[in-house]
């Protein structure tokens, strides 16, 4: 893709805007950046000299003429600024589409509603353990275009891809793709499940021949996509044996491919807690194997890999109460899986900014488990309505109060799980800030007098 002298607009700073703009500038493009929000001086200073920055409005960007418009994931695909430039003849693409065009190497692309970051990081560990150079990037936190390594032909690009990024792809063809699961999320943006699924399937639509697509056969929505896959299908399942793919048999993780089978490890040896992480581990095995990692390396990485921050992360045990930080549980499906892996007495902290979700399935599981519930944030009332008549359900003012009340509800021998099933932006900067505040509240609780309460 020739960019020298091209007029390129980057819409949105975010985590991807700055590295995208700087890469475009380094390649000779005439770059402008626009963001309707306020941009701090420190963030603005990260842009290369010569890049035009507009903040607080899109006025200059709307008036300008551009050859290419690159959008950050947080910018609505049907928003007025993107629509205006489409009408003027500009090509509008996502930053992940741009990265692929500039470095069309052996991409490994991983999407799904939940588990993307853990699976992506684990695949990266498996590839490196196998002696294969791998750069982990994308929605996991570091923009692909901020990584020089994606331009190294010896490297494999292991990318976490969101539905927002898939809105803006046109030529994206990964060597290995994966859809981990599909449950309702981002309905405030995508409006319908049909549209959300349509975006997820884009990850494999341009694959052909010996490309590989990994699907979760235990998830109804991803399993339904299997007949549509235009390349080799290499699925995974925790529930049943597969002729081709990765599955669990008698506590062993088995890889079966073209008549041969290998054991990658035992489920009891995984350092990742819960059913959701078992599925993530199976997916990572299928993806890494399809990308050329050897089984020994896969096994070694499986047995040593630990949970990422804010994803079913064990925080501490305080006077017999275990605390687990799953702040990345930002939708109902994610929290359902987190709770499904819990045993014993559980108190779960729920709430935040709603994404137009139905909390009924979550309320049903809470009732069946007999879990205690502590509610925070804007969605507290909506969740409380779903739990009408059930106890214990308590409201909390802030994270310190939520942790204290959840610990009292769980009692010694119990578990406090932060898995809010909601976005964080009503009370916190982002899910990381929410998880950090949870950990700080647990540390604070450890210095307080002994807990009272409990249910048991």
- The pLDDT tens digits of the residues spanning 426-449 come to 999 999 999 999 999 999 999 876
Give me the DSSP letters along 249-310.
Answer: ETTEEEEEETTEEEEEEEGGG-SS-HHHHHHHHHHHHHHHHHTT--HHHHHHHHHH--PPTT
Q: Which single residue is written with the structure tokens 């647990």?
A: 442
Please, is 307 exposed, middle or buried when counting C-beta atoms within 10 Å of its C-beta (0-12, 13-18, 19+)? buried
- pLDDT of amino acid 455: 47
Whether residue 126 is found in the same domain as residue 251 = yes
CATH of the domain at 420: 3.90.190.20
Q: 346-382: per-residue pLDDT in tens?
A: 999 999 999 889 999 999 999 999 999 999 999 999 9
Choosing from 304, 335, 354, the residue where a domain stops is 304
Question: 139 and 18, same structural domain?
Answer: no
Whole-angstrom Cα distance, residue 133 to residue 105? 12
Q: Give residue 321's region: left, alpha or beta (phi > 0; psi -120 to 50).
A: beta
pLDDT at 448: 73
254-291 burial, b at 16+ Cβ within 10 Å, e below that, comes to bbbbeeeebebbeeeebebbbbbbbbbbbbbbbbbbbb
Q: Which residues are catalytic?
A: 116, 139, 186
**Rounded Cα–Cα distance for residues 26 and 437 (Å):** 38
Check: CB of residue 375 under 8 Å from CB of residue 395.
yes
The token pair at 36 is 């309707």
* pTM to 2 decimal places: 0.84
Mean pLDDT for the chain?
A: 94
Nearest to 376 by CA among 351, 410, 404, 401: 351
- The owner of tokens 């987190």 is 338
**Per-residue model confidence as pLDDT tens digits over 186-244:** 767 777 999 999 999 999 999 999 999 999 999 999 999 999 999 999 999 999 899 99
Tell me: do 121 and 27 sit in the same domain. no
Question: Can you say whether the dihedral through the CA atoms of 326, 330, 333, 336 is positive or negative?
Answer: positive
Task: Supply the pLDDT for residue 454.
Answer: 47
Same-domain status, 339 and 217: no
Mean pLDDT score, 393-413: 97
Summarize the confidence of residues 147-164 as an average pLDDT: 95
Query: Does any domain span residue 357?
Result: yes
Statement to judge: residues 151 and 291 lie in one domain: yes
Based on the fold, state whether residues 216 and 294 are members of the same structural domain.
Answer: yes
Mean pLDDT, residues 180-187 taken together: 84
> How confident is the model over 74-132, as pLDDT tens digits?
898 989 999 999 999 999 999 999 999 999 988 999 999 999 999 999 999 999 999 99
108's tokens: 């490994």
* 341 three-state secondary structure: coil
CATH number (domain holding residue 289): 3.40.1190.10
Taking the C-alpha atoms of residue 343 and residue 171, their distance in angstroms, rounded to an integer, is 45
Identify the domain boundary among 282, 304, 326. 304
The pLDDT of 237-259, averaged and rounded, is: 97
State which residues form the domain around 171: 103-304
Confidence check: pLDDT of 343 > 90: no
**Residue 328 in domain:** yes
Hey, what are 79's tokens? Answer: 């928003």
Which of 28, 63, 94 represents a domain boundary (last residue)?
94
């Amino acid at each position: 893709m020739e960019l020298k002298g091209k007029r390129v607009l980057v819409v949105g700073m975010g985590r991807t805007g700055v590295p995208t703009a700087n890469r475009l500038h380094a390649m000779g493009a005439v770059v402008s950046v626009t963001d309707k929000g306020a941009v701090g001086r420190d963030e603005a200073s990260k842009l290369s000299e010569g890049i035009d920055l507009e903040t607080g409005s899109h006025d200059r960007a709307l008036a300008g003429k551009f050859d290419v418009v690159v959008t950050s994931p947080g910018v609505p695909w049907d928003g007025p600024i993107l629509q205006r430039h489409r009408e003027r003849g500009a090509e509008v693409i996502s930053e992940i589409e741009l990265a692929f065009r500039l470095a069309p190497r052996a991409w490994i692309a991983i999407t799904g509603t939940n588990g993307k970051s853990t699976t992506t990081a684990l695949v990266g560990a498996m590839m490196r353990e196998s002696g294969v150079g791998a750069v982990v990037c994308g929605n996991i936190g570091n923009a692909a275009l901020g990584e020089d390594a994606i331009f190294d032909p010896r490297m494999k690009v292991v990318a976490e891809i969101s539905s927002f990024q898939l809105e803006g792809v046109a030529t994206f063809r990964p060597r290995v793709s994966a859809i981990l699961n599909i449950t309702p999320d981002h309905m405030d943006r995508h409006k319908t499940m049909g549209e959300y699924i349509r975006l997820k399937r884009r990850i494999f639509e341009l694959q052909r021949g010996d490309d590989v697509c990994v699907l979760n056969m235990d998830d109804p929505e991803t399993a339904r996509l299997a007949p549509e896959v235009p390349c080799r299908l290499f699925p995974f399942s925790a529930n049943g044996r597969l002729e081709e793919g990765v599955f669990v048999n008698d506590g062993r993780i088995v890889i079966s491919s073209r008549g041969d089978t290998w054991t990658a490890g035992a489920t009891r040896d995984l350092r990742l807690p819960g059913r959701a992480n078992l599925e993530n581990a199976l997916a990572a095995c299928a993806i890494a194997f399809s990308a050329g990692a050897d089984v020994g390396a896969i096994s070694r990485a499986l047995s040593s890999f630990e949970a990422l921050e804010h994803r079913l992360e064990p925080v501490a045990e305080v006077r017999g109460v275990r605390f687990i930080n799953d702040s990345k549980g930002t939708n109902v499906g994610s929290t359902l899986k987190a709770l499904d892996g819990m045993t014993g007495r559980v108190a779960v902290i729920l709430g935040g900014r709603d994404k137009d979700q139905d909390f009924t399935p979550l309320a049903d599981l809470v009732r069946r488990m007999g879990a205690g519930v502590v509610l925070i944030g804007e969605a507290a009332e909506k969740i409380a309505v779903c739990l009408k008549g059930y106890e214990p359900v308590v409201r909390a003012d802030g994270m310190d109060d939520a942790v204290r009340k959840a610990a009292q509800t769980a009692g010694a021998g119990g578990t406090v799980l932060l898995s809010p099933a909601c976005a964080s932006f009503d009370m916190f900067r982002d899910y990381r800030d929410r998880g950090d505040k949870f950990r700080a509240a647990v540390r604070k609780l450890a210095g307080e007098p002994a807990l009272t309460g409990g249910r048991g």
